[in-house]
Structure 1
Amino acid sequence: MENKKVNTETNKEVMIECKNLTKAYNGFKALDNLNLDIVKGEIFAFVGHNGAGKTTTMNLLVGLIEPTSGDAFISGHSIIKDPIEVKKIIGFLPENVNLYSGLTARQTVKYIADLNGGVAENKIDETLDRVGLGKVKDKRAGEFSKGMKQRLGIACVLVKDPDVLFLDEPTSGLDPTGKMEVQDLLKKLGDEGITIFYASHILGEVEDIANRVGILYQGKLQKILEKDEIGKVGEIYKEISVVV
């Protein structure tokens, strides 16, 4: 059942809404009562140390695990009651992308597209152009740099035209050039109206990309930084970690 919500301040559709979202393991709360709204076209970064609850949040929102309590809505669809509808409108790229090294970029995207019901042939080429890999579409993935492989992974989730992208540590392990390539792509996708929720433990990289940043610490959302505060994310995070 769809229950769309509009943010009254921005007049934009709320694409991700978390209501008291909680995940506990044997009494330990990996995520503790998360309440959060993210609007259409927003790039929202979740930052925190390893083990803060970022990946748990991501796995809950994409349906890999079930919440202990609370709920979340993706474009109005409950992750508990409408998981199939949620999966139709999201794309998810985990931290470690495993690609078939012997397949070309085009073959890789086509393979993933076929697993999701298939798309027109020209859609595959358009998607590769979209992530800046159109000129190397016939090159094998095993020959790609890490940054190119990451963009190919993003192409695989973009080919079905998701409304919301979930990216777990999308620049992890990349060199400066690779990071810049992925960051530029994310900004471009945000400009196109795609909502992006991504997790990172690298505080410095969120300054140039994110519209807002959520600081997660010990399973709790401690603070949301608006655009004009993001430049102080390192300083604010340090203050929170000392107080908490």
Structure 2
Amino acid sequence: MTRAGGEATVRVLVVEDDDNLRFAVRTELAGAGLAVTQAADLATADAALTGEDFDCVVFDRMLPDGDAIHYVHGRRQQGWAVPVLLLTARDSLADIVAGFEHGGDDYLVKPFSVAEMTARVLTLCRRAGTGRPSVLRHGDLEMDCARRQVRRAGVLLGLTAKEFAVLEYLLTRPEQAVARGELIEHCWDSSTDPMSNVVDVVVRRLRGKLREPELIHTVRGRGYRLAS
């Protein structure tokens, strides 16, 4: 889990059929540094969850194609463990209890503060990330994810948020070729043009800061690889 403030690679799915509320939630979460994917119904959400990994899902309860708690309950029975925040106008004690009993991890009643919603999402993401290693190493490169510090041969490097995010993703897949599109998917939000050169720009800056010998190698026709 990486922290807020434009520095995170944490991915959140927002499932909300109200266009204005979905935009407000997406804007607030993106402003906190999270990569946000949006859906307006359960079918679209299911497709996103089948094809991608998320650190948290924010579900409006009542969606055009059903009650989200039944969808979450079904996924939980299949072993799905992604944290879920439920948003709803249904504020009775019975409704709140049902939300938790069906697999929700947190429950927020409308109308709500988007700042409070963001704080709850960040808390859920931190809980989900407790099992990840806090320090990543590759050769003489060391990344302390909790302190957000990177050292090479013991020398502290000053990285931007996106440089940190790209390097963190490569460190979780050492010696593997990672496509540019995969880096955009995990280190930027869904509004980023997959044909842009943002990845190449960040990697070029990273190479300069990491110094020699070179760690990030270009895999022709595929992307980049963190190599010894």
Q: TM-score scaled by structure 1?
A: 0.28
The structure with the larger Rg is 2
Which structure has greater strand proportion? 1
| TM-score of the pair, normalised by structure 2 | 0.29
**Larger relative contact order (CA 8 Å, sep ≥ 6):** 1
